[in-house]
A = this chain, B = another copy of it.
């Protein structure tokens, strides 16, 4: 188990965490690991009916090769979804991708040369860093606080690297309920960060898979792209609001960038699955998405509330945690300098699992953190799991 979290580049991959999540699929272990949505949120009955109808009635489209940029009717639905999120997108600016991971990989392939710098949050999503590292880019960490990415740190890191002659190409950010931290970037910071991208000449990759999963009243998730369409490439996904097995993500980008990404996508897989796209399009066209998002929010809101309550009850004085006003994760930071990776086997022996936070920090920090997802377990098991974790780390602190 432990070697999955070594800092060896070969294991510094989403597969390590997913392999680990599978390892602990044992029903006797309460799992805060994994990072995948709950199948209970998948609207199977509606999707089954839609899929059968589409295959019978639209086989010449849904079972055939399709346009590289995606099914035109789906691109129109996506443009409307973007409008609902607070920024204008035309269907011409939308490229459907084989999940958001493909979007990240196309961007890495299109924009990055070996040695280019990608600025990433501390912590950040490992699937993105895997794609950037695959193009031999270098990663530079930018500090987060409770309001998300810190613009002062961003300016400091970007200008220092530029002064060293490095090419700072991209800022990769997940502003809404980030994986792994669960943090929400404040609206006040967003225009400032966009202005800095324009001033310092880098592109912002805004990854927004969780923006619709809001559980608190005052969360404003309006994307950075609402402030400037030119320097922000927006990534969205149906994985967390509908179902990831359909592999349906999207990019919103201006014409020049979009044309390059389309060429890369064509070489990558010609087009994304046309049945998947047709199902998602029909689901949206019928107006099912708002009700589905409301159901998903209600499902996770309960689990989030209960997890935060349990953290308050059991972890007070031992750790702090992010409030997780949305998304699937909270990140717990132990007060004591305890390496959470060193306690995974103990935890599993005690019937509970989490993901050590270290691999999410590109600067080697974060050893005393762990990512907890509240997506997977039943309410009782979530409560029990937090209690077990607290006992484990309280004991570890005593032993220090």
State the A residues within 8 Å of B (CB).
10, 13-15, 18, 36-37, 39, 42, 44-45, 47-49, 51-53, 55-56, 59-66, 68, 98-99, 101-102, 105, 108-109, 127, 130-131, 134, 239, 243-247, 262-264, 266-276, 279
- A272 CA to B248 CA in the complex, in Å? 11
Check B263 against A247 for contact (C-beta < 8 Å).
no
* CB-defined contacts of A51 to chain B, threshold 8 Å: 48, 51-52, 55, 275
Partner of A268 from the list B15, B101, B273 (CB cut-off 8 Å) is: B101
Minimal Cβ-Cβ distance residue in B for A274? B245
* CB-defined contacts of A53 to chain B, threshold 8 Å: 48
* CB-defined contacts of A273 to chain B, threshold 8 Å: 98, 245-247, 273, 275-276
- A59 CA to B39 CA in the complex, in Å? 7
Q: Given A13-B263, A15-B68, A275-B276, A101–B47 Cβ distance below 8 Å?
A: no
Minimal Cβ-Cβ distance residue in B for A34? B65
* CB-defined contacts of A268 to chain B, threshold 8 Å: 101-102, 105, 268
Q: Given A36-B65, A266-B15, A275–B245 Cβ distance below 8 Å?
A: yes
* CB-defined contacts of A48 to chain B, threshold 8 Å: 51-53, 55-56
Kindly provide the distance from the CB of A130 to the nearest chain B CB, expressed in whole angstroms.
5
| 16 extra interface residue pairs, beta carbon distance < 8 Å, beyond A63-B245, A268-B268 | A13-B266, A15-B263, A39-B59, A42-B59, A44-B55, A44-B59, A48-B52, A48-B53, A51-B52, A59-B243, A101-B267, A101-B268, A101-B269, A127-B270, A130-B266, A131-B267
Minimal Cβ-Cβ distance residue in B for A39? B60
* CB-defined contacts of A13 to chain B, threshold 8 Å: 263, 266
Question: How many copies of this chain sit in the oligomeric assembly?
Answer: 2
Check B99 against A267 for contact (C-beta < 8 Å).
no
Would you mind naming 20 contact pairs between A and B with Cβ atoms under 8 Å apart?
A14-B270, A18-B65, A39-B64, A42-B63, A42-B64, A44-B63, A47-B63, A48-B52, A51-B52, A63-B243, A98-B269, A99-B270, A102-B268, A108-B267, A109-B134, A127-B270, A244-B274, A273-B275, A273-B276, A275-B279
- A348 CA to B227 CA in the complex, in Å? 47
Check B45 against A63 for contact (C-beta < 8 Å).
no
Check A267 against B134 for contact (C-beta < 8 Å).
yes
* CB-defined contacts of A269 to chain B, threshold 8 Å: 98-99, 101-102, 105, 247, 269
- A108 CA to B37 CA in the complex, in Å? 33
- A243 CA to B266 CA in the complex, in Å? 18
Which residue, of A10, A60, A246, A266, has the highest number of chain B Cβ atoms within 10 A?
Answer: A266
Check B49 against A36 for contact (C-beta < 8 Å).
no
* CB-defined contacts of A245 to chain B, threshold 8 Å: 61-66, 273-275
